[in-house]
Structure 1
Amino acid sequence: MKDNYTYDVIIIGGSYSGLSAAMSLGRALREVLVIDSGLPCNRQTPYSHNFITQDGEKPAVISAKAKLQVDLYKTIHFFNGLAVKAIKNENGFEVFTESGKTFNSRKILFASGVKDLIPEIKGFADCWGISVLHCPYCHGYEVKNEKTAIIANGEMGFEYAKLISNWTKDLRLCTNGKSELTLEQTEILNNHGVKIFEEEIDSFEHKEGYIQKIVFKNQDKIEVKAIYARPPFEQHCPIPETLGCDINEQGLLKVDAMQKTNVNGVYASGDCTTPMRSVAIAVSTGSFAGAVINKELIDEDYAK
């Protein structure tokens, strides 16, 4: 880490996507600073899947190994802390951190992820990422053919139930209140053996994060081994919005096919840009963003 220095790129977020981008840039001999606060969204998840060569590995092990490899590139530097503000200036960007440190760069990449807004259901937070899951491609194989519930309603609940039925036929759809399914959707799900529960959920009975029963507010209970849910989320880092970056209707940073935001010099990759939240996709978009940024820097230098 260098003081009073303008880096080629500051990467905000040092998990899978940020580290992947840093490796691309390090191999391109770029001076890069990675700022990370150490709070990846999957920090409670015991195992990562569907990432070739790393299937079944602990997420923290993957990121630790990645950081060790990235750290071998001498032009990559790390700062452990929270970025709280960035401003655009004539030379690029100035980034301010919670500790009072400031850093300058020509470009910024946000690989800062999202923050899940956990519902106020007792036990939900304890089970999130362990037995309350968001993605069947990441975790569905491990709970295939088990008693499974989905917490969703309306169109999302209908489509989610169709998707998860690929992994198990022992399926329940919990709408957590009055069903918003159409009569046709209800009939289709019933015909495929999906049981629909409209009672509001009170809590989860679990053991160390592994779900055992859903408890409804009328005190009825159903036994399950896994739950799928997609709670709302917000951007983990508010800085892109303050810089003027567009956010789409899903709450994700808008990027084009080159991982560029609408603000010149600002790029984004990983979970903050896509609903397809997986380690493999985060790594892919980060690697690509690093290559794009390097090319942009080259083009700028040759235009002088």
Structure 2
Amino acid sequence: MKQETIFDVIIVGGSYAGLSAAMSLGRSLRKVLVIDSGKPCNIQTPHSHNFLTQDGKTPKEISTIAKEQVKKYDTVEFYDGLATEGKKTENGFEIITKRGERFQAKKLIFATGIVDEVPNIKGFWDCWGISLIHCPYCHGYEFKTKKTGIIANGERGFHIASLVNNLTNDLTILTRGKAEFTEEQTQKLKQNNINIIETEIDEIQHQNGYIESLILSDGEKLNFDAVYGAFHFKQHSDIPGSLGCEFTEHGHIKIDNLQKTTISGVYACGDNSCPMRSVANAVYTGNLTGAMVNMELTNEGF
């Protein structure tokens, strides 16, 4: 059966934020298309935490249940593939996929997430999301009291250290170059017995993604149970930028308190527009976005 091509709303990205927005809109009988390429950033994370009713489940379990529930709403459709281009049209927007399919909608929601620009260190990707982690709220409790490292520098490193310091007394920051802390920050780190190592990292030794040690460029071997990483990122999709959406100084899509971007009719939710990276927050912002888009459609058509 040929897929419909005209919708009220197209949601680009079908993970937690996108599915949450789709449910909100589906319950208001809005005709919705969710386009998703099936490559979530937490694909190898073993367990998700800090989300009521879902604590300890795998990310895949949560998203599978979510999609099954959203599919029960007859006005929501799914397209498995990659959205590569977006255009403004007379009646709204057009999204073009990698396979060349074209879909139109009055409104767009981007729930496309971000991509971490991680260092080229042997063993890094094998551990990313397992024992090499990004968020104390999502994963920190599971590594409490353990020997812990932080791969970061400057403000990012200091911020993570201040949070993780409450979870362990054995903490080291690895700046991979000259430390960029202020005098006040350096003094606070010393007061809390947090070590600073400036030597580059050559390799992460692990067993099935669980870190055993870091090998530094000078040959020194440091044992760790867990390591946090704070890195720059880029948007997973360049469509919002091509449509003219503005970005914050840190690289997130700029939104207002109703999840609206700077382009009329275009909304964003989840990691692409918020520094708080968690499943719970993605679900919240998606739910809010769906409601706000429905309200805008209502105001335009009532």
Taking the aligned partners of 1:24 and 1:151, their CA distance within structure 2 comes to 38
- CA deviations on 1:230-283 (whole Å, 9 max, x unpaired) are 121110010000000001111100000000001011000000001100000000
Q: AA paired with 2:214?
A: I
- What SS is found at the alignment partner of 2:74? coil
* 1:184 Cα deviation from its structure 2 partner: 3.6
Pairwise CA RMSD: 1.2
1:89 aligned partner: 89
Please give the residue correspondences for 1:71-220 in structure 2 after superposition, counting only pairs within 5 Å. 71-220=71-220
Q: Distance in 2 between matches of 1:53 and 1:84?
A: 35
Structure 2 CA distance, aligned partners of 1:146 and 1:115? 28
Cα shift readout 1:74-127 (whole Å, capped 9, x = no counterpart): 000000000001111111111100011110101000001001112101111111
Alignment of 1:151-300 (within 5 A): 151-300=151-300
Residues 152, 231 of structure 2: 8 Å contact kept: no
Q: Secondary structure at the match of 2:9?
A: strand
2:12–2:83 contact (8 Å) kept in structure 1: yes
The answer for the alignment partner of 2:23 in structure 1 is 23
AA matched with 1:264: S
After TM superposition, give the deviation of residue 3 of structure 1 in Å.
Answer: 4.2
Q: Deviations over 1:194-217 (max 9, x none)?
A: 111111111111111100101100
Aligned to 2:49: 49
Deviation of 1:70 (Å): 0.3
When residues 2 and 8 of structure 1 are mapped into structure 2, their CA distance, relative to the original with a 3 A threshold, is farther
Amino acid at match of 1:289: T
Any conservation in 1 of the 2:33–2:76 contact (CA below 8 Å)? yes
Query: What amino acid sits opposite 1:280 in the alignment?
Result: A
8 Å contact kept, 1:3–1:103: no
Deviation at 1:174, TM superposition (A): 0.8
Q: Using the aligned pairs only, state the percent identity.
A: 55
The secondary structure found in structure 1 opposite 2:218 is coil
Residues 2 and 295 (structure 1), Cα distance of their counterparts in 2 relative to 1, 3 Å cut: farther
Q: Aligned pair count?
A: 302
Q: C-alpha displacement at 1:182, in angstroms?
A: 3.1
Task: Give the stretch that moved more between structures: 215-224 or 171-180.
Answer: 171-180
> 1:57 corresponds to which letter in structure 2?
K
Matches of 1:248 and 1:301 in 2, distance apart? Answer: 32
Q: 1:23-74: CA deviations, max 9, x gaps?
A: 0000000100000000011111110000000000000010001000000000
Aligned-partner Cα distance in 1 for 2:15–2:80: 12
Unpaired runs of 5+ residues, structure 2, are none
The structural deviation recorded for 1:152 is 1.3
Give yes or no for the alignment of 1:12 onto 2:15: no
Alignment of 1:51-66 (within 5 A): 51-66=51-66
1:153 is displaced (CA, Å) by 1.4
Matches of 2:190 and 2:50 in 1, distance apart? 31
* TM-score, with structure 2 as normaliser: 0.98
TM-superposition CA deviations, 1:154-178 (whole Å, max 9, x none): 2322222111101111101111112
Q: CA deviation at 1:2?
A: 6.0
Q: 1:225 to 1:4 in 2, by over 3 A?
A: closer
Q: Which digits, 9 at most, give the CA deviation of each residue in 1:178-200, with x for residues without a partner?
A: 22223443232122111111111
Alpha-carbon separation, structure 1, partners of 2:115 and 2:209: 19
Q: Which runs of 4+ in 1 moved over 6 A?
A: none
Structure 1: segments with no counterpart, 5+ residues: none
Query: Is it true that 1:70 corresponds to 2:51 in the alignment?
Result: no
**Secondary structure of 2:104 counterpart:** strand
- Contact 1:9-1:33 within 8 A present in 2 as well: yes
Q: Distance in 2 between matches of 1:100 and 1:158?
A: 46
Secondary structure (helix, strand or coil) at the match of 2:77 reads strand
Q: Which amino acid aligns with 2:21?
A: A
Matched letter for residue 156 of structure 1: R
TM-score (norm 1): 0.97
Preserved CA contact (<8 Å) 1:93 1:104: yes
Matched, 1:39 2:50: no
> Is the 8 Å Cα contact of residues 146 and 225 (structure 2) preserved in structure 1?
yes
2:253 alignment partner, SS class:
coil
Cα separation, 1, equivalents of 2:170 and 2:270: 33
